[in-house]
Structure 1
Amino acid sequence: MLKVVKPIENQEQESRKPGRKGRWKLWLLLTVLLVAALSVIFFRSSLSHIQQIEVEGNVYVDRSAVIEAAGLRIGGQFFASSATNVEQRIVSNLNAVESATVEKRFPGKILLRVDEYSPVAYELLEDGSVQALLGSGAEIPLRDQGLPAEKPMLTEWEGKEEEKARLCRVLASVPDGLLSDLSEIMPASTESYPDRIRIYTRSRFEVETTVSLLKDRLEILDGITETQSPGSIKMFEANVYVPFVNAELETESGE
């Protein structure tokens, strides 16, 4: 005999069966809990910590200074900062560094590559020590690096740090070939020309100009030193060249 199931009874049986939607929510909850537990275990393990920091490309800046500027330390969180943020910290905290590259190698190794500004001059200090001056104006005491080849010596710039940094930035924008003849640069400010400087060249010329005009005048100066005998050159709004021989003759005739 066939059993007739009433509609109401059939609905009650269907309602007792677990739905697919309920099983999906259960699996999702279990997955989230598992991921959370694994994350806690991972970030507490040594795999998530910085185990090694290497620095490359530094000549004038100490390794420890680069790491400190980066805000990193052994044992710190490997994923705490992005490579871009670390690069920005290095450049902003170290004026000797022009650019930086950070490479993260899992697990736990970070490589910091720095590109420093090149030396544009060196400076003789009052105590007889010498320091390198980089294109950014950074001052680096010389230890084992040696003197920059064919770079001018800056003298009598103590207390004129802002003007000296400005001069360094100008020198950094000039081709090396135009700097090779510059032997010494010293400040010689006047009321008319607050940034006036005096330059002595290896070819025995004495030059007066200003920091603001220097870049434009160096190419002209190179042409004069290549073709004329040693003398005095004033390079302001107009350029005036007087050979030392003529100046000596005028002095003798005046006596």
Structure 2
Amino acid sequence: MEKGKVLSLEDRIPKIKEHRRKKANRRLIILLSVFFLLIVVVVYFQSPLSHIKEIDIQGNKIASKEDILSISGLEPGGSLWNINQKNVRKKIKKLPEVKDIDVKIKFPNTVEVHIKEHSSLALLMNDHRVQPVLENGQVLQEKNSLLMNAPILIGFKEDEILKDLISQLKDIPTEIYYSISEIQHDPKNTDPYHIYLYMNDGNEVNATISTLAEKMAHYPSVVGQLDPNIKGVIDFEVGSFFRAYENEGEDMSEEGER
């Protein structure tokens, strides 16, 4: 046996008692902490802090806050912890205007709803009503918050032709898109997709929907070759031709193939 001091039982008992006392104190502190935590949780759930005080809706320009709240199922006074964020997102995305949505609970009692909407690309004239047409082809009921710079569509129906047009408008460069004042559907026997575009600069464009974005990309260069004091029709249906209004009875003069 190695040399060293051997503690007697009498010497060891006080240290064992001290160790047991400290261990018992730690257990007591843990139990008291859990007890008080449970009390705090119970008080919290019974207090107004656990109920929805504010619903903050952001990002909506077309869909109204009233419509979003109504379909979401959220309401002030409801329990914060009964909110199923996945279900709330699913409900709100039923609105045709809504492209994406994020729902967050912000301490202590606020629900934040961040909306991303489909862009409104045109205004459909239908039975003397003006209806926004979204980038996904959906036609909405009349809204107060319309895009005033969006092209007005005349003679269109809610069908595949309209959806094809919207698909083309998405691909037109922004500066050219905003220069379009009105688009009129003028179907022909040989081309049910034939349209006329009336531009803000006073010119008119003769085109077909299937090649609209491709041909309209050349609009600035074609107009740049023309006398700014002479307005007329630019034909993009086949090539690129210009006919001045005052020479409407004459043959079109070719400005160049595109």
Q: Verify same fold: TM over 0.5.
A: yes
8 Å CA contact 1:152, 1:185 repeated in 2:
no
Aligned to 1:119: 120
1:124-165 deviation digits (Å, cap 9, x = unpaired) = 11x2211122334343333544x63343222343240x5534
CA deviations 1:47-66 (Å, max 9, x no partner) are 11102224355332111222
3-state DSSP of counterpart to 1:141: coil
CA distance in 2, matches of 1:20, 1:197: 90
Cα deviations by residue, 1:198-240 (Å, 9 ceiling, x for unpaired): 12324353422234x32222121343345275236244xx525
SS at 2:165's partner residue?
Answer: helix
CA distance 1:159–1:114, change in 2 (3 Å): closer
Displacement of 1:74: 1.3
TM-score (norm 2): 0.67
Structure-to-structure mapping, 1:178-217, within 5 angstroms: 178-179=176-177, 180-186=179-185, 188=187, 196-202=193-199, 203-211=202-210, 213-217=211-215
Looking at structure 1, the residues matched to 158 and 141 of structure 2 have their Cα atoms a distance apart, in angstroms, of 17
Q: Supply the AA of the counterpart residue of 1:92.
A: K
Whether the aligned pair in 1 keeps the contact of 2:55 and 2:113 (CA below 8 Å) is: yes
Equivalent residues in 2 for 1:225-244, closer than 5 Å? 225-226=223-224, 227=226, 230-231=232-233, 233-235=235-237, 239-241=239-241, 243=243
Partner of 2:148: 149
The one-letter code sitting in structure 2 at the alignment partner of 1:75 is G
Say whether 1:32 aligns with 2:34.
yes
Which amino acid letter does the alignment assign opposite residue 48 of structure 2?
S
CA distances 1:74-114 after superposition (whole Å, capped 9, x unpaired): 1223355598x699558734442456566755443345454
What do the CA deviations read for 1:148-190 (whole angstroms, capped 9, x no partner)? Answer: 3343222343240x55345334424433431223421427488
CA change 1:14–1:205 in 2 (3 A) is closer
Pair 137,44 (structure 1): closer, same or farther in 2 beyond 3 Å = farther
Aligned partner letter, 2:169 = L
Structure 1: any 5+ residue segments left out of the alignment? 1-5, 251-255
Q: Which residue of 2 aligns with 1:77?
A: 79
Counterparts of 1:13-24 in structure 2, within 5 Å, are 18-24=20-26
Q: Within 1, Cα distance between the matches of 2:188 and 2:71?
A: 37
Q: Distance in 2 between matches of 1:67 and 1:166?
A: 33
Please tell me whether the aligned partners of residues 182 and 199 of structure 1 are also in contact (alpha carbons under 8 angstroms). no
SS of structure 2 residue aligned to 1:198: strand
Identify, as 1 or 2, the structure richer in helix: 1
Going from structure 1 to structure 2, the CA distance change for 1:112 and 1:142 (only over 3 Å counts) comes to same
Partner of 1:44: 46
C-alpha contact (below 8 Å) 2:139/2:158 kept by paired residues: no
Distance verdict in 2 for CA 1:31–1:184, change over 3 Å: same
Q: 1:239 to 1:249 in 2, by over 3 A?
A: closer
Per mean C-alpha deviation after superposition, the further-off stretch among 213-222 and 10-19 is 10-19
Q: 1:168 aligns with which of 166, 184, 196?
A: 166
Tell me what 2:157 maps to. 158
Match of 2:63 in 1: 61
In 1: Cα distance, 2:194 partner to 2:32 partner: 76
Question: Which residue number corresponds to residue 3 of structure 1?
Answer: none
Q: In the alignment, is the contact (CA less than 8 A) between 1:96 and 1:136 conserved in 2?
A: no
Deviations 1:24-81 (Å, cap 9, x if unpaired)?
A: 2332233223212321221221111102224355332111222245552212233555
Is 1:248 matched with 2:257? no
Give the aligned partner of residue 223 of structure 1: 221
